[in-house]
A and B are shown apart, each in its own frame.
Chain A
Amino acid sequence: MTAQSLPVRHIDLSTTHKDTHGGDAAAFSVFWWKDLPLGMRASLPEELPFGEAQLRQFAAEFGAAQLAARSPTLGAPLRATFEGRPKQALILAHLLGADNLVDQLDRLAAPSGMSAQDISVVICTRDRGEALAGCLKSVTTQQTPPSEIIVVDNSVDGNAKSICRRFPEIRHVHEPRPGLSVARNAGIRASCGEIIAFTDDDVELHPSWTAEVGRAFLDESIDALTGLVLPAQLDTPAQRIFQLDMGGFGTTFVPLRFDHRFLEETRPHGAHVWKIGAGANMAFRRKMFERIGLFDERLGAGAAGCSEDSELWYRMLANGGVCLYEPRAVVFHHHRRELSELRQQMRSYMRGHVAALVAQYDEFGDRGNLVRIFGQLPIYFLRTFLKGLLEGRNGRPETLTAEVAGWTAGLQFLFRSGWRRQRAPRLSAGGAGQ
Chain B
Amino acid sequence: MAYRLVEIELSKPLEAIEFAPEESGVGLIARWHDQLVGFEMIARPSGSMLSAEELREFADRHFAARVLIAKVEHELAQSAPPSAALSSLSIAICTKDRAQRLSRLLTSLDAVRKNSSFAAIEIVVVDNASTDSTTREAVERFDGIRYVFEPKAGLNFARNAALEAATGALIAYLDDDVVVDRNWLIGLAKACRDNPGAGGFTGLVLPYRLDTEAQIYFERRGGFGRGFYRNEFRNARFDNPLHPVGAGVLGAGCNMAFERKLLISLGGFDEALDTGAPLPGGGDLDIFYRVLRSGRTMVYEPQFAVYHEHRETIAQLRRQYWSWGLGMMAFLVKCRRSDRELRSRHGAMVRWWFVDQARALARAVRGLRGRDVNFGIAEVWGGIRGLAGEYDRSRSRVQAIRELNR
- Known A91-B60, A92-B10, A101-B75; contact A54-B232, beta-carbon cutoff 8 A: yes
Using known A-B contacts A46-B235, A51-B232, determine if residue A95 contacts B72 with beta carbons closer than 8 Å.
no
Residue of B at shortest CB range from A394? B241
**Which of B64, B73, B232, B241 makes the CB contact (< 8 A) with A91?**
B64
- The residue in A42, A43, A51 that gathers the most chain B C-beta atoms within 10 A of its C-beta is A51
User: Which residues of chain A are within 8 angstroms of B73 by Cβ–Cβ distance?
Assistant: 56-57, 60
Residue B172 is within 8 A (CB to CB) of chain A in the complex: no
In the bound complex, residues from chain B placing their C-beta under 8 Å from that of A46 are: 234-236
Say yes or no for B368: interface residue by CB 8 A criterion. no
- A57's partner among B11, B230, B234 (CB-CB below 8 A) is B230
Contact A56 B60 (CB under 8 A): no
With most chain B CB atoms within 10 A of its CB, the pick from A17, A26, A44, A74 is A44
A102-B68 contact given A44-B236, A57-B230, A92-B56, CB 8 Å threshold: no
Within 25-79 of A, Cβ neighbours of B (below 8 Å) are at 26, 41-47, 51-54, 56-57, 59-61, 63-64, 67-68, 74
**Are B72's CB and A67's CB within 8 A?**
yes
Contact A47 B76 (CB under 8 A): no
- Name, among A1, A57, A93, the residue most crowded by chain B CB atoms within 10 Å (CB to CB): A57
B49 within 8 A of A: no
For window 1-54 of chain B, which residues contact chain A by CB distance below 8 Å?
10-11
Interface hub of B10, B234, B297 (most chain A Cβ within 10 A)? B234
What's the Cα separation between A155 and B80 when bound, in Å?
56
Task: Across the interface, name the chain A residue whose C-beta is closest to B193.
Answer: A53
**Cα–Cα, bound, A114→B80 (Å):** 34
Pair B72/A101 contact, Cβ less than 8 Å: yes
Give the shortest distance, in Å, between A51 (CB) and chain B (any CB).
6
Pair A47/B230 contact, Cβ less than 8 Å: no
Asked if B234 contacts A102 (CB within 8 A), the reply is no
Complex: how many Å from CA A46 to CA B237? 8
B68 adjacent to A96 (CB under 8 Å)? no
Residues 74-129 of A at the B interface (beta carbon under 8 Å): 74, 88, 90-93, 95-96, 98, 100-102, 105
Q: Chain B 61-89, CB within 8 Å of chain A: the 1/0 string?
A: 10111011111110111001000000000
Partner of A68, one of B68, B75, B229, B236: B68
| Residue among B59, B235, B239 with max Cβ neighbours from chain A (10 Å) | B239
Q: Does A429 contact B (CB under 8 A)?
A: no
Decide if B76 touches A59 in the complex (CB within 8 Å): yes
B277 to chain A, nearest CB (A): 36
Say whether B71 contacts A56, CB under 8 Å. no
Which residues of chain A in 356-404 are interfacial with respect to chain B, using CB atoms and an 8 Å cutoff? 390, 394
Chain A min CB distance to B83 (Å): 9
Count chain A residues whose beta carbon lies closer than 8 angstroms to a beta carbon of B.
Answer: 38
Interface membership of chain B positions 212-237, coded 1 if the CB is closer than 8 angstroms to chain A and 0 otherwise = 00000000000000000110101111
Contact of B71 with A95 in the complex, beta carbons under 8 Å: yes
A119-173 residues with Cβ-Cβ distance < 8 A to B are: none
B residues 229-271 in Cβ contact with A at 8 Å: 229-230, 232, 234-239, 241
* In contact, A64 and B65 (Cβ under 8 angstroms): yes
Residues of A close to B11: CB separation below 8 A: 96
Q: Which residues of A contact B237 (CB under 8 A)?
A: 44, 47
Asked if A56 contacts B77 (CB within 8 A), the reply is yes
Task: Tell me if B194 is interfacial: C-beta within 8 Å of chain A.
Answer: yes
Q: Tell whether, in the assembled complex, residue B64 and residue A102 are in contact, meaning their CB atoms are under 8 Å apart.
A: no
Contacts of A100 in B (CB 8 A): 75
Q: Which residues of A contact B77 (CB under 8 A)?
A: 56
When C-beta atoms are compared, the residue in chain A nearest to B70 turns out to be A60
Say yes or no: A98 contacts B234, CB within 8 Å: no
Complex Cα gap A56–B69 (Å): 11
Q: Is B355 an interface residue (CB 8 A)?
A: yes
Q: Are A74 and B68 in contact (CB under 8 A)?
A: yes
Checking B69, B195, B235 against A60 with a beta-carbon cut-off of 8 angstroms, the contacting residue is B69
Kindly state the separation between the CA atoms of A1 and B238 in the bound complex, as whole angstroms: 6
- For B194, the closest partner residue in chain A by CB is A53
- Interface pair A43/B68, CB less than 8 Å apart: no
- Distance from B58 Cβ to chain A, minimum over Cβ atoms (Å): 10
**Residue of A whose beta carbon sits closest to that of B292:** A46
Q: How far is the CA of A98 from the CA of B70 in the complex (A)?
A: 12
**Contact A88-B65, Cβ < 8 Å, known A59-B76, A63-B72, A67-B72:** yes
Binary interface encoding of chain A residues 200-241 relative to chain B, with 1 for a CB under 8 A from any of its CBs, else 0: 000000000000000000000000000000000000000000
Taking the closest CB of chain B, its distance from the CB of A74, in whole angstroms, is: 7
Contact A92 B60 (CB under 8 A): yes
Chain A nearest CB from B304 CB (Å) reads 14
Smallest CB-CB separation from B81: which chain A residue?
A17
In the complex, are the beta carbons of B241 and A1 less than 8 A apart? yes
Contact B238 A53 (CB under 8 A): no
- A51 vs B77: C-alpha distance in the bound complex, in angstroms? 14
A42→B76 CA distance, assembly (Å): 24
Q: Give min CB distance, B67 to chain A, whole Å.
A: 6
Q: Quick check: B64 and A95 within 8 Å, CB to CB?
A: yes
Given contacts A1-B238, A53-B195, A67-B72, contact A17 B80 (CB under 8 A): yes
Chain A min CB distance to B64 (Å): 4
Contacts of B71 in A (CB 8 A): 64, 95, 98, 101
Residue of A nearest to B299 (CB): A53
Say how far A283's CB is from chain B's closest CB, in angstroms: 31
| Least Cβ–Cβ distance between B301 and chain A, in angstroms | 10
Contacts of A95 in B (CB 8 A): 64, 67-68, 71
B69 to chain A, nearest CB (A): 4
Q: How far, in angstroms, from A90 to B80 measured CA to CA in the complex?
A: 28
Report how far A56 CA is from B81 CA in the complex, Å.
12
Closest residue on chain A to residue B297 by CB atoms: A51
Is the pair A52, B80 in contact by a Cβ cutoff of 8 Å? yes
Closest chain A residue, CB of each to CB of B235: A46
8 more CB-based (< 8 A) A-B contacts, given A92-B67, A95-B71, A101-B68: A43-B238, A51-B194, A53-B194, A60-B72, A61-B229, A64-B68, A88-B65, A105-B72
Q: Which A-B residue pairs are the 10 nearest by beta carbons?
A: A60-B73, A53-B194, A90-B64, A46-B236, A64-B69, A46-B235, A64-B68, A60-B72, A44-B236, A42-B238
* A to B CB contacts below 8 Å, 6 in the list: A46-B235, A53-B195, A60-B72, A63-B76, A67-B72, A88-B64
Chain B interfacial positions (CB closer than 8 Å to A): 10-11, 56, 59-61, 63-65, 67-73, 75-77, 80, 194-195, 229-230, 232, 234-239, 241, 297, 299, 355
